[in-house]
Amino acid sequence: MDDSSDIARLIALMARVPGLGPRSARRAVLHLVKKRSQLMVPLGNAMQAVAQSARECLNCGNISTHDICPICADTARANGQICVVEDIDDLWAMERTGAFKGRYHVLGGTLSAIDAIGPEELRIPRLVDRVTTENITEVILALGATIDGQTTAHYIADHLSGIIVSTLAQGVPIGGELDYLDDGTIGAALRARRQL
């Protein structure tokens, strides 16, 4: 590195992007510098645009460029089903399968005694509200097959009544995270969901 602080600063910031470390950040920045007009300028612009426009859906916690995300705003998806996921990448993974036609609720994590994460941190009260206000008949819990994920699933099931509460049953490996599964496995797990 020379004393070009702009470049050194860009490398330091890139090294904080998940999936990149100090070495890969250097390689990435070198590539970006070589592809200034084709890649670095559009990428910088896209980051500015998303930083300006991205927001959490006030209803479900999904991220989009609207206060109410396109999924919540889509009346065709008001089919009485809410799929509860831990995080947005799980929502994206579920959407890629095309297997689910209802709406989502993004918890933002799982209950965790160790990390002191309780129901209020996880939009669980908001989920309970939505079940009544949106005429929900079924809540599908698409949480990871981890101890915290299953604890969270049972906590939610205990706090919902008068509706079907189901969970992805088949294909989610023990300890596995949803986002790492292939689309077919997620689809199969959805179809074979069992009622809690």
Does residue 44 touch a copy of itself according to CB under 8 A? yes
With 0-12 CB in 10 A as exposed, 13-18 as middle and 19+ as buried, what is 180?
Answer: exposed
Least distance CB 162 / a copy of itself (angstroms): 30
Q: Which residue has the tokens 């101890």?
A: 147
The identity of residue 3, as a single letter, is D
Report the partner that residue 58 touches, choosing among Zn ion, a copy of itself, none (CB closer than 5 to 8 A by kind).
none
Q: Which does 63 bind (CB under 5 to 8 A by kind): Zn ion, a copy of itself, none?
A: a copy of itself
Taking CB under 8 A as the criterion, the residue among 58, 67, 70, 129 binding a copy of itself is 70
Cβ contacts of residue 125 below 8 Å, gap of 6+?
119
Q: Is 7 exposed, middle or buried (0-12, 13-18, 19+ CB in 10 A)?
A: middle
Whole-angstrom Cα distance, residue 108 to residue 143? 11
Q: Which is nearer to a copy of itself, 80 or 108 (CB)?
A: 108
Contacting residue, 83, 84, 85, 88, with a copy of itself by CB under 8 A: 88
Specify the length of the chain in residues.
196
Among 14, 32, 57, 168, binds Zn ion (CB under 5 A): 57
> Is the Cα dihedral 80, 84, 177, 73 positive or negative?
positive
* Residue 110 to residue 190: CA distance in whole angstroms: 20
Instruction: Give the shortest CB-108-to-a copy of itself separation in angstroms.
Output: 10
The CA distance from 49 to 37, in Å, is 17
> Is the Cβ–Cβ distance between 153 and 168 less than 8 Å?
no
Tell me: does residue 47 bind a copy of itself (CB under 8 A).
yes
Q: Which does 60 bind (CB under 5 to 8 A by kind): Zn ion, a copy of itself, none?
A: Zn ion
Question: What is the closest distance, in whole angstroms, from the C-beta atom of residue 128 to a copy of itself in the complex?
Answer: 24
Instruction: Catalog residues that contact a copy of itself under the rule CB under 8 A.
Output: 1-4, 6-7, 9-10, 13-14, 16-20, 23-24, 26-33, 36-37, 39-51, 53-54, 62-66, 69-71, 87-89, 92, 95-96, 179
